[in-house]
Structures are given as structure tokens and as C-alpha cells.
Amino acid sequence: MHGRLSIDLVNPTVLQNILRNVTLQLPEGYELIAGINIENIHLYYDMTAVSTVANTHCINSLLHIPLKSANCHFTLFKVITLPTLVSFDKFAQYVVDYSYFGLQISQHAYILLTETDYSHCKKGSITICPANMPVYSTQTMTCLSSLYFQNTNTHSVCRRKLLFST
């Protein structure tokens, strides 16, 4: 059986103790996504998935708790392109295929998300997206990365549409 973590199943103090023990066993470079402060424990009730496995001898509950590492932590930006004036009555607007641009904290890599990709993310005070999308080096130029980093060759990487004022 799969489901969400319930406060009736594990009270906040017990959950905090479980998380404290988990942090002692994590590989180097990994940490809990919201720490172990009691003020943040409520986040784990939203983010943690529970699987229950049973046999004739026992029942086990497996907690699937999201982790983070420095190289997997991204700041997510919603992309909005605005028209720019080309001439007296004409505007041009960049056409982008992705609605979100995620930049790694170290600024060495980025991810691109469509609205559909973003709909699979768990949203709350912390947004957690599945790790099933490509991660691009900032050396790899795409339309969104060139717009974000304000590269001079944006015109050759991005499509534009012409708009006329009426």
C-alpha cells in the first residue's frame, strides 16, 4: 500500500527523532530537504510518501523522504517573455518551448521544465520535482539559458515572432 504520512501514524516528536537518526546515516553531501527543526516537521507530512509492506510475521512502514545535495538544488524561475519594440508599429517576442528555467546553486548547470513537467512537482513552501529530467551544463546554450545569461547570440538560438500594433 502507498500513501501519505499521517500525523496519526507518527507524531511530530517521533518523526523528528526518526529524521535525526536518518541524518546520522546519510552519505556525505546529502541532507534532509527541510532540516530537522521542529518548526519544519510539518513539511515532511506533505513531502513524505509511505509504503506499507506486510507478511505473516510483521508489518513495515517505509518512509520515502526527499533529500537534497548541493549539486541537485536548483532555483526555479517562471519564464515570461515580453515583446520588444522593433520599429514604430512592430514588436518582436521570443518564443520559448519551456515555461520554467531552473539554475543550480553553483550556476554550473540548469534544467528546463514544461508546464507538464512542473505539474509533476510537489508544491508547498518547498517545491520538489522528480529527478527524471536532463541537467544541462551552462556551457550548453539553449534559448532560455541565453536569455537568462543575456548572451549576445540569443537571436541565433531563439525563435521570435513578429507582433504588429493595432
Q: How far apart are CA 165 and CA 156, in angstroms?
A: 25
pLDDT average, residue stretch 69-98: 88
Q: What is the pLDDT of residues 18-37, one digit of tens each?
A: 999 999 988 888 888 888 89
Mean pLDDT is lowest, of 15-19, 34-38, 77-81, for 34-38
What is the pLDDT, as a whole number, of residue 166? Answer: 63
pLDDT at 154 over 80: no
Chain position carrying cell 522528480: 130
Mean pLDDT of the chain: 87
Task: Name which residue leads in pLDDT, 158 or 2.
Answer: 158
Instruction: Indicate the pLDDT class of residue 1, thresholds 50, 70 and 90.
Output: low
pLDDT at 160 over 70: yes
φ/ψ (deg, to 5) at 93: -135, 135
Q: How far apart are CA 148 and CA 96, in angstroms?
A: 12
How much is the pTM? 0.68
